[in-house]
Amino acid sequence: MQIAIVVYPGMTALDIVGPYEVLRFIPGAELRFVSAEPGPVIADSGIFVMAATHSYDETPAPDIVLIGGSGTASATIAKDRRLLEWLRRVHETTQWTASVCTGSVVLASAGLLDGQPATTHWAELTVLEGLGARPVRDERIVHAGKIVTGAGVSAGIDLALWLVGKVAGDDVARAAQLVIEYDPRPPYDSGSRAKANAATKRGVAAIVGREAAKLAANEPGALVRESVALSGLAWRTALHKARRSARRRVRRPA
């Protein structure tokens, strides 16, 4: 089973890192991080570096496709014609098409959520509605047909466990949950708007303001891109070695 996780500059790392750590427990799963071209990708923090291992063209028919969101880049990536065309094309044959956080805004921009129930980060529900979806509030996971959408950021772990259960069975999903010791007991109980008090909501506004100021002052990841940039040849060589090593591990007898 091939699982394609979309990566793009400015995305929120946990949106895909959480699901990755769960989905890789599906027996026989081949996971790949896909983008327009293979290479380093800087997350929205400006300092966390991820990598696309495969291009869209190299991934024409994944069984599962998942796209995460971003607090800063979703509006831009939702206009990326190459990505939107790829999503429409692969969705025709996927078993599951999934999103976390504002990744559903991208799915909606591709026309995949027209008239469909879906969720996203609470701050973007009106955007989702404006793109033709039927926003569902206060739900961590919403599925309609073969499309499943998750709420903000950390909901990606829940969504991935749900997918593992559907694809590989409840026992595998429970085992994956135990392996990653996913047993949330947060020290605070303000993880939804319904639970958060007025002071907490004001704090969110302050955080958003600070992040916006950072973006205005300095393009995220500019210095990091200089320090981690690889020449095309060096990157392809490193990627080839990594893929070859991965194939050897897959072929190794149990």
Q: Which helix (H) or strand (E) holds 32?
A: strand 30-35
Long-range interactions of 86-91: CB distance < 8 A, separation 24+? 86/56, 87/112, 88/112, 89/60, 90/4, 90/59, 90/60, 90/61, 90/62, 90/65, 91/65
Compute the distance between CA of residue 71 and CA of residue 55 in angstroms, rounded to an integer: 24
CA distance 199 to 196: 8
Per the CB < 8 A criterion, the answer to whether 71 and 214 are in contact is no
Q: Please give the full DSSP string across 166-211, using - where no structure is assigned.
A: HHH-HHHHHHHHHHTT-----S---SSTTT--HHHHHHHHHHHHHH
- Sheet with 54-55, strands from edge to edge, namely 54-55, 30-35, 2-6, 64-67, 96-100, 147-150, 141-144
Catalytic annotation, pick one of 16, 22, 98, 101: 101
d(Cα 141, Cα 119) in Å, to the nearest integer? 7
**Is 101 known to be catalytic?**
yes
**Which residues have a catalytic role annotated?**
101
